[in-house]
Amino acid sequence: MEPILKVENLKTFFPVATSVFGKKKYLKAVNDVSFEVFENETFGLVGESGCGKSTLGRTIVKIYDPTEGKVWFKGKDIGTLKGEDLKKFRKEAQMIFQDPYASLNARMTVGEIIKEPMDIHGLYSSNKEKEEKASELLEIVGLKPDHIRRYPHEFSGGQRQRISIARTLALDPSFIVCDEPISALDVSIQAQIINLLEKIQAERNISYLFIAHDLGAVKHISKRIGAMYLGSLVEIGDSNELYHNPLHPYTKALLSAIPIPDPRVMRSRESVAIDGEIPSPLNVPSGCAFRTRCPMAMAKCAEDTPKLKKVGSSMVACHLYD
Ligand code: SF4
């Protein structure tokens, strides 16, 4: 099966300063990332804040230009798209943002917010058709058609995220980057939004790149998961396998951070604690980027950068599996 999205050795660096010797310094937000997403699949992307997940998502939908590497969407290199092809890509590949308070224009009614992308892409000939479509989308996301005349401040955080999802669906996308869509919401609302995204996926055959810092949240919705650390993927695996049998010390640490209500399961689980903050992407450690926090680090880890390789059914970048 051909993937709907193929990311190949993608790098997104931002120039930040020039040293006294005239050498440019770069913030390496995404550093040599490769993975694929298949039709109707959810690929979860997990990692601590500042690991480059959001930059990766934004590069994939062409908010940022990559420094190196390629993104293939439905077999086409998105770096070469122009004119109608680029417009079609922008319609088909959408993004849902983390903060439903900041991502909706407070001065626009809900109807105007949902109709805006239709206007930009020249969909539907009359305002009546657009209004009907907006009302239909509000019903799909669990809101009422008459909410169309209200303003974002009249809604709760969960309802606002539903409005964001309705706006995204207005363009009938086949791929959506969900950039931490539940992190700003109450725990009780998070499951509702995940269920809504799953329902929409089943009905509309959409593929998701679902970004979160909590492995527990990603596990529920994803078929496969990639763990990201300092701009690079350190493990990719089937969601269940990665959750129950993580291989990379960083994935183990992410898993250890999830509380489990059953004390017997908690006791039997291998616990890996990591100290300190994630290093700055301006000064990525030599060799394995995780070595400054890894309890298993060896001398070799400071010299050789481990590459992703197949271990069992997963892909892992760690010298423990050489
Ligand atoms: Fe730890 Fe070394 Fe593996 Fe990196 S390569 S995760 S430092 S053991």
Q: Supply the pLDDT for residue 315.
A: 97
State the amino acid at position 142 in one-letter form.
G
Nearest CA to ligand 1 atom 1: 297
Q: What is the mean pLDDT of residues 183-191?
A: 87
CA of 306 to the centre of ligand 1 (A): 8
Query: Is the pLDDT score of 277 beyond 90?
Result: no
pLDDT digits (tens, 9 = 90+) for 57-73: 999 999 999 999 999 99
The pair phi, psi for residue 35, each rounded to 5°, is -170, 170
Atom from ligand 1 closest to the CA of residue 319: 5
Residue 273 above 80 pLDDT?
no
> What pLDDT does 263 receive?
62
Ligand 1 site: residues with CB under 6 angstroms? 248-249, 288, 290-291, 294, 296-298, 301, 306, 318-320
Closest residue CA from atom 5 of ligand 1: 318
Contact predicate 73/127, CB 8 Å: no
**Distance from Cα 44 to the centre of ligand 1, integer Å:** 22
pLDDT of residue 49: 87
**pLDDT at residue 168, as a whole number:** 96
Does the structure show a pLDDT above 90 at 98? no
Work out the pLDDT band at 271, boundaries 50, 70, 90: low
The tens digit of pLDDT for each residue in 200-256 reads 999 999 999 999 988 888 888 999 999 999 999 999 999 999 998 999 999 999 988
Tell how far the Cα of 220 is from the centroid of ligand 1, in angstroms.
27
Q: To 5 degrees, how large is the angle CA 285–CA 56–CA 321?
A: 50
Q: Which two tokens stand for residue 170?
A: 């207005």
User: Which residue's CA is minimally distant from atom 3 of ligand 1?
Assistant: 318
Q: What is the pLDDT of residue 215?
A: 86
State mean pLDDT over 108-115: 96
Q: CB-side exposure of 153: number of CA atoms within 13 Å? A: 3
Residue nearest atom 7 in ligand 1 by C-alpha distance: 291
Residue 141 Rama label (left phi>0; alpha psi -120 to 50; beta): alpha
Q: What is the pLDDT of residues 9-51, one digit of tens each?
A: 999 999 987 766 777 888 999 999 999 999 999 999 999 988 9
